Structures are given as structure tokens and as C-alpha cells.
Amino acid sequence: MKITVIVPTYRRTQDLARCFAALQKQARPVDEVVIVVRDSDYETWQFLTSFDPQLLPLRATTVSIPGVVAAMNAGLDVAQGDIIAFTDDDAAPHSNWLAHIESHFLADDRIAGVGGRDWVYHGKNLEDGVCPVVGQVHWFGRIIGNHHIGIGAPREVDVLKGVNMSFRRAAIQQLHFDRRMLGTGAQVHFEVAFCLSLKRAGWKLIYDPQVGVNHYPAQRFDEDQRHQFNPIAVVNAVHNETLALLEHLSPSQKLVFLFWATFVGTRDAMGFIQWLRFLPSEGLLAGQKLLASWRGRWQGWQTWQG
């Protein structure tokens, strides 16, 4: 099987160099690397002109629209592999990454996607934590991620994580990432819609903690600055999650989800009860998060209806 690795990038040349170095060390050599670069990203284009083409089977493609969705889709349009793997420019796949991925696809032709753990580093410090429950969507719509702390044997999941996921070309066919996702950079939850569409079609998605990448979360150049509150970023993330779930859930599940999301919610997408929980410690900030979350739910509903 031919394997293509797609790496979207934007103004992170030092991170990209580390990613390329990791891809060069794969026990199962990569057949094609597609690097997706914004047309205005002169820093990255200059870096690529100095990169030795003998080190990796590298192809570069251009995208003019901001956001990871456009970059991912641009990569899909030119990728030639039977397996298409995605990672981020601020990640470094483990040396057995592609070998483990390929072994899963060869073992079961019902598998559409394979992903694994991203070992998150903050500087030199590894983020601690272990959790056996990874990549699940509860019947009422709550999404559990935990891909960065997953443990245990390979198992079937509902959702993979963008920094470490791969797909069988025959399964995804002409499927693209949903262009309705909001945001100008990370477009949080973009992979949820893609994965759930494969689940609805009857395919299997596998999470294997041994399919590993080291993840060094780098600077973002959009409204989503990770651990800083930005109402636009919250609206965008909640909109994207809501849209993906409304596309996936049954009519009765949709009603339960909307009730739960409005009145309960989560830390990142607050409902009324979560607002009460954080009100003593966050004060007015909790109210701002609640309003942004409700606005995101409403906009997600409107996009789905449209």
C-alpha cells in the first residue's frame, strides 16, 4: 500500500523541520509527503526551497483560504496514497508510526481510519494523565476526546484527532472536510464531522495508543489562542461541534442533545449548570463563556438548518 502523509503548515518553520526529521526516520518509509502552504506564507516557502529533496518524497501545494479545513482538503485533492495520514507541523511522529498504521489497515479491510496517542509536551515537560476512554460520542451528544492520554489495547472509537489520524482512500472516496466549519486557523472539532460521516457509512475507526506522535503545541495565528478565553473562538468551536452532532444524531437524540447542551454542557461549551459550577471561581468570565457557548449552539443550529 502506498502511504501519503499530509502536513498543513503556517509560519512554523522550526516545528516543520522537526516534523520532517521525524518522517525521515520512519521504519516504514513514507511514499509521499504533501505539505500544504498558504500562498502568503513566504517564510515557509523560503524554507522549502532550501530543503534537500532527496531527504523526503516531498510535494508542496498552495492554499489561499485560511483555516485547516481548506488546507486538509487541498492536500486530499493531490494525495496519491492508498492510505492518507495527517499530522501537524508541530508534531513529530514516532519512528514506528507508519508501520503501525499500515498494519491495522492490512489486518481488516473494514477499517476506514486509524489514529493514536499524541504525547503532548509543554517545553520539555510531558503532560501527565492516563485514560482508557478515548474518542467516544455519548448517545446524547457529549464528546470525549482524551486522545493525548489514551491507554490500553487498540479499539474501535467514534472520533480520531487531527494531529494523528489516517484514512483508507477507498473508504473516504471523494469525502472532504466540512467547509462549513468556522474559524480562520485550527477550526476546532473539524475532524468530528469527518469521522462521524464514516461511522454513519458503517466503517470502523481504530484508536491505538502505540500509533504515537510527540506533540509540541506551537503558536497559533488566529483567534483561538488555546488556553486564553476568546469569545469568537468559543463560538466557532461550539458551532462546529454542534453542526457535526446535529448531522449525526437521530431526531430523538438531537432533542436530548440540545436540552443537555443548553442546560448542562461542559467546561469548554457551557450550559446553565456548568455556569453555576464555575461562577464562584470565575465570576463574570463564566457568564461570558456561557453566552459564547449558547451563541455557538444557536449558530450551529442555524447552519445545520440552512
Instruction: Tell me the three state secondary structure of residue 126.
Output: strand
Which amino acid is it at 169?
A: R
Measured in whole angstroms, the distance separating CA 224 from the mean position of its chain's CA atoms is 14
Contact 98, 170 (CB under 8 A): no
The grid coordinates listed for 277 are 459550577
Q: How many whole angstroms separate alpha carbon 3 and alpha carbon 279?
A: 49
Tell me, what's the pLDDT at 4? Answer: 98
Q: Where are the domains of the chain?
A: 3-215, 231-305
What angle separates helix 251-263 from helix 284-305, to the nearest 10 degrees? 160
- pLDDT (tens digit, 9 = 90+) per residue, 147-179? 999 999 999 999 999 999 999 999 999 899 999
String of DSSP letters for 32-92: EEEEEEETT-HHHHHHHHTS-TTTS-EEEEEE-S-SHHHHHHHHHHH---SEEEEE-TTEE
Q: Which residues of the chain have pLDDT under 70?
A: 221-227
Q: Count the helices and strands in the chain (H runs, E runs).
A: 10, 12
Tell me, what's the pLDDT at 224? Answer: 57
Stated pTM of the model: 0.95
Give the closest residue to 297 by CA, choosing from 270, 277, 267.
Answer: 270
Q: Does domain 3-215 have CATH number 3.30.565.10?
A: no
